[in-house]
Amino acid sequence: MINITIDGRKVKAAEHSTVLKNLQDQKVEVPTLCFHKDLLPFGACRLCTVEVKTDGKWQLASSCNTPVVPDMEIRTDSKKVKESRKLAAELLYYRYPTTKAVRDIAVRLGVEVEPPSVEGNDCILCGLCVRACHEVVGVSALTFLDRGLDRDVEEPKVDYLAMACIACGSCAFICPTGFVKMEETGGGKRRKIWGKEFKMAACKVCGRYFAPLDQLKWISKTTKTPLKKLMTCPSCK
């Protein structure tokens, strides 16, 4: 363990942990948009900015991907921190003015927000879907073509590899804006995600469609479990 100081308070921190992890452990509220505790940090939104002092110099840093170092001092409530977070929220809001998740965080950070004419759900390139697919699901059906929110181009740059997708839906669940859409069609017989339709498997006991067939095949292959053993829904197991 190492010693760090958060807003003037001395606390212990695990070596190699991030500033954000320690702030959350100390119940310090920090806005985030591209962070998820089960995924590697990405550092795209800059909403989690804090001031850190290392080697005698204060500087702004995104807390989610900055590791703590011995005797680091951290400020979470300074004028600079507030201004920096507000600026990050403003930039997001100007780019995605109709997207609810962006609007909500902008309001929280003091940005003046107009009522939207329509409700939008833009891809803000937070990278959560890409990281979930790669790090948690392990199939890498999504890749980032242009990283970060500071990109020049307007179009979303997430590339979808339909052949690799198993229709698990993790990307849709984790997407903070509703950009990734998933729907069940044909009375639950099919799942549509990223515009592609997948067959759902029916439970061999109750007949209910309960999981994408490709996902079950993937589990069967990776866990070396016979597919027929996986064809029972959680309620009938």
Which residues sit at the interface with ligand SF4, rule CB under 6 A? Answer: 132-133, 137, 139, 141-142, 165-171, 193
Quote the CA–CA distance of 89 and 109 in Å, as a whole number: 7
| Neighbouring-strand partners of residue 120 | 99
16: left (phi over 0), alpha (psi -120 to 50) or beta: left
- Compare residues 30 and 180 and give the one whose CB is closer to ligand FES: 30
Q: Among the candidate windows 42-50, 51-59, 114-122, 227-235, which touches ligand FES by CB under 6 A?
A: 42-50
- Compare residues 106 and 130 and give the one whose CB is closer to ligand SF4: 130
- Compare residues 68 and 171 and give the one whose CB is closer to ligand SF4: 171
Quote the CA–CA distance of 184 and 192 in Å, as a whole number: 6
Quote the CA–CA distance of 192 and 185 in Å, as a whole number: 7
- C-beta separation of 173 from 194 below 8 A: no
Tokens coding 81: 């921190």
Q: Is 13 in the site for ligand FES (CB under 6 A)?
A: no
Contacts for 216 with CB less than 8 Å, ≥ 6 apart? 201, 227, 230, 231
Q: Among the candidate windows 3-11, 32-40, 100-108, 134-142, which touches ligand FES by CB under 6 A?
A: 32-40
Q: CB of residue 215 vs ligand SF4: minimum separation in angstroms?
A: 8
Out of 19, 44, 72, 125, the only residue in the binding site for ligand FES (CB under 6 A) is 44
Query: What pairing do the DSSP bridges indicate for beta strands 190-193 and 196-202?
Result: antiparallel
Q: Is 64 in the site for ligand FES (CB under 6 A)?
A: yes
Q: Is 43 in the site for ligand FES (CB under 6 A)?
A: yes
Q: CB of residue 158 vs ligand FES: minimum separation in angstroms?
A: 17
